[in-house]
Amino acid sequence: MIPTLEAVAVGTTFADAGGGRIAALDQVDACFLPGQLSVIVGPSGSGKSTLLHALAGIVVPDAGRILFGSTDLSTLNEGQRDAWRLTHCGMVFQDFRLIDELDALANTLLPAQFTRLRTPAALRQRAQLLLAEFGVPARSGPVARLSRGEQQRVALARALLLDPPVVLADEATASLDADNGQRIAHALLAVARAGKTVIAVTHDDRLSALADQRLMLKTGRVVTPEVHRA
């Protein structure tokens, strides 16, 4: 059973250009259940990516805790958080973070370097299936030459490669046309329905409409938490 991922009274500040501090998150409480697709919405600069990165253990909050069952991510050191993320999270970054020179298949297979749990042949087959599902040729040539939408789908295939219990996606449908946007939104919902915890930062109504939980941030605070379906 996948534990619940929780933010408890999370506060995060960053240094601003003038030497002061900007509060990116302030007293954020949120609970993300396995089997559910949750979206984080809100205006630009409201703290959405910061919350996603805190949930992934990339950003360490100044206040509060990030809990994954009995694991308190806030108490882990950087190496422990990296190890936790590798085994528990699939991440789609806003800027994709692909390796430009590699093709779609090689990019999708990158997490395979860090696991011995599955055979290279099985992972290769899964990578090919994911890319086919998302409509990107595996042998695409360097991904730098692909469209943004294709790169985004490669990033999602890579996030799903190891079948992680938690999938965190930052604007996973932002560069996609209507058909591909629907395809990816439904793919994220299918991952949730397969029992995973799926959390997506989005401005996309197509994705929001499918969500079980919609968390709205405004200037770093949660406003009107809203549950669509139990």
Ligand X SMILES: Nc1ncnc2c1ncn2[C@@H]1O[C@H](COP(=O)(O)OP(=O)(O)OP(=O)(O)O)[C@@H](O)[C@H]1O
Binding site for ligand X (CB under 6 A): 14, 22, 24, 42, 44-50
b vs e for 188-202, b when ≥16 Cβ sit within 10 Å of the residue's Cβ?
bbebbeeebbbbbbb
Closest distance of CB 5 from ligand X, Å: 18
Give whichever of 36 and 49 is closer to ligand X, judged by the CB atom. Answer: 49
The first and second tokens of residue 189, run together, are 């919902």
Give whichever of 25 and 187 is closer to ligand X, judged by the CB atom. Answer: 25
Closest distance of CB 224 from ligand X, Å: 16
Give whichever of 47 and 57 is closer to ligand X, judged by the CB atom. Answer: 47
- In the three-class reduction of DSSP (H, G, I as helix; E, B as strand; rest coil), residue 93 is classed as coil
- The answer to whether 228 and 212 have CB atoms below 8 angstroms apart is yes
Give whichever of 183 and 203 is closer to ligand X, judged by the CB atom. Answer: 203
Closest distance of CB 204 from ligand X, Å: 12
Q: How would DSSP label each residue in 118-139?
A: S-HHHHHHHHHHHHHHTT--SS
Give whichever of 38 and 50 is closer to ligand X, judged by the CB atom. Answer: 50
- Give the residue from 129, 147, 143, 159 showing the smallest Cα distance to 56: 159
Closest distance of CB 12 from ligand X, Å: 8
Closest distance of CB 216 from ligand X, Å: 11
Q: Name the amino acid, one letter, at 90.
A: G
CA 64 to chain centroid: 21
Return d(Cα 190, Cα 188) in angstroms, integer. 5
